[in-house]
């Protein structure tokens, strides 16, 4: 009984810890400025809720462009990560663990390099290749970060699929391509969706590569940063609140794939 009580207390504390910033964001977004940023002691409750901050953000600032740009980049990053992660994960999944795990660790270590170290030299090459300030160029660079994690998930997913399934398909006359597309990929679909979702969510709020490689045509995180640094705090808060809606929607819609066995590459039997 005591353990259960402590568990629920811990859950309550962590829930408050993670939801409190969102609650503050809601207060600033819907309350007039005199009750938030202009108040010496802002009230912790809603007072005279208003939509003026959102109206100002939509009418006087370019919101739709950065929003669609972020959505396009994130979708491309998810597609690239899955498209490259499936063959790489399948190959690693069919190797022995003594060889696959060192290679996997080596792939994951590439993410230890600071983003700015990678972004600056790439930006000079992208200018030459006409990929600077482009959706495709930014998606390609962000894929460098998401691909190792996608490969990690795919490797675990394919390695957990019994090899007898593949052997039996070959005995029945199945070709390699049809075995992959018609048997292995459908079985590994939960892991594939998890890899896509994590890649998409990373790209959606990525800032370092976006601000260096696409400063003139910014994504939404960069646009929010520009708004706040120019003193438009309320506009930035309104953008930030809207910025969370796709993440929450996508997470709720695909939450059944965000489980330990999927994120670690396990296939539920």
Q: Measured on CA atoms in the order 151, 157, 160, 165, is the torsion positive or negative? A: negative
pLDDT at 22 over 70: yes
**Furthest-apart CA pair in the chain: how many Å?**
76
- Which residue range forms the structural domain that includes residue 232? 54-263
Residue at 39 is within a domain: no
Q: What is the Cα–Cα distance from 240 to 151, expressed in whole angstroms?
A: 31
Q: 80: burial class by Cβ within 10 Å (0-12, 13-18, 19+)?
A: buried
Q: What is the Cα–Cα distance from 183 to 33, expressed in whole angstroms?
A: 57
Give the count of domains, the chain: 1
Residue at 49 is within a domain: no
Q: What is the pLDDT of residue 266?
A: 45
Q: What is the pLDDT of residue 269?
A: 46
User: In angstroms, what CA-CA distances link 88 with 91, 107, 154?
Assistant: 5, 11, 8
Burial 22-51 (b: 16+ CB within 10 A, else e): eeebebbbbbbeebbeeeeebeeeeeeeee
Residue at 43 is within a domain: no
Residues above pLDDT 90, as percent of the chain: 20
Give pLDDT tens digits for 183-233: 888 888 888 988 998 899 999 989 999 999 998 889 989 988 888 888 778
Residue at 125 is within a domain: yes
Residue at 15 is within a domain: no
pLDDT at 263 over 60: no
The pTM of the whole model exceeds 0.85:
no
Residue at 48 is within a domain: no
Give pLDDT tens digits for 62-121: 788 898 999 999 999 999 999 999 999 988 888 887 888 888 888 888 888 888 888 888
Question: Contact, 237 vs 55, CB < 8 A?
Answer: no
Residue at 110 is within a domain: yes
What is the CATH classification number for the domain harbouring 95?
Answer: 1.10.3720.10
Residues above pLDDT 70, as percent of the chain: 94
Q: What is the Cα–Cα distance from 129 to 126, expressed in whole angstroms?
A: 5
Q: What is the pLDDT of residue 268?
A: 45
Q: What is the Cα–Cα distance from 107 to 94, expressed in whole angstroms?
A: 17
Residue at 143 is within a domain: yes
What average pLDDT is seen over the chain?
A: 84
Question: Contact, 115 vs 210, CB < 8 A?
Answer: no
Give pLDDT tens digits for 38-62: 777 888 888 888 888 888 877 877 7
Q: Measured on CA atoms in the order 65, 68, 74, 75, is the torsion positive or negative? A: negative
pLDDT at 34 over 60: yes
């Amino acid at each position: 009984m005591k353990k259960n009580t402590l568990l629920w207390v811990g859950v309550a504390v962590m829930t408050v810890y993670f939801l409190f910033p969102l609650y503050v964001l809601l207060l600033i977004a819907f309350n007039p400025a005199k009750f938030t940023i202009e108040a010496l002691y802002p009230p912790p409750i809603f007072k005279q809720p208003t939509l003026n901050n959102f109206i100002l953000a939509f009418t006087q600032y370019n919101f739709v462009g950065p929003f669609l740009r972020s959505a396009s980049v994130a979708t491309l990053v998810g597609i690239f990560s899955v498209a490259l992660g499936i063959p790489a994960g399948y190959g690693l999944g069919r190797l022995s663990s003594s060889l696959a795990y060192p290679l996997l660790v080596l792939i994951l270590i590439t993410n230890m390099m600071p983003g700015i170290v990678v972004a600056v030299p790439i930006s000079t090459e992208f200018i030459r290749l006409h990929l600077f300030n482009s959706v495709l160029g930014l998606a390609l660079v962000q894929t460098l970060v998401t691909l190792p994690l996608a490969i990690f998930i795919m490797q675990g997913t394919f390695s957990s699929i019994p090899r007898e399934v593949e052997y039996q398909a070959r005995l029945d006359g199945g070709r390699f391509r049809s075995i992959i597309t018609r048997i292995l990929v459908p079985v590994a679909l939960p892991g594939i969706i998890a890899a896509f979702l994590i890649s998409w969510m990373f790209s959606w709020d990525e800032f370092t590569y976006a601000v260096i490689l696409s400063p003139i045509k910014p994504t939404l995180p960069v646009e929010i940063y520009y708004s706040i640094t120019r003193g438009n705090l309320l506009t930035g808060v309104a953008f930030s609140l809207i910025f969370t809606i796709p993440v929450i929607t996508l997470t709720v819609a695909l939450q059944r794939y965000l489980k330990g066995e999927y994120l670690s590459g396990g296939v539920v039997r």
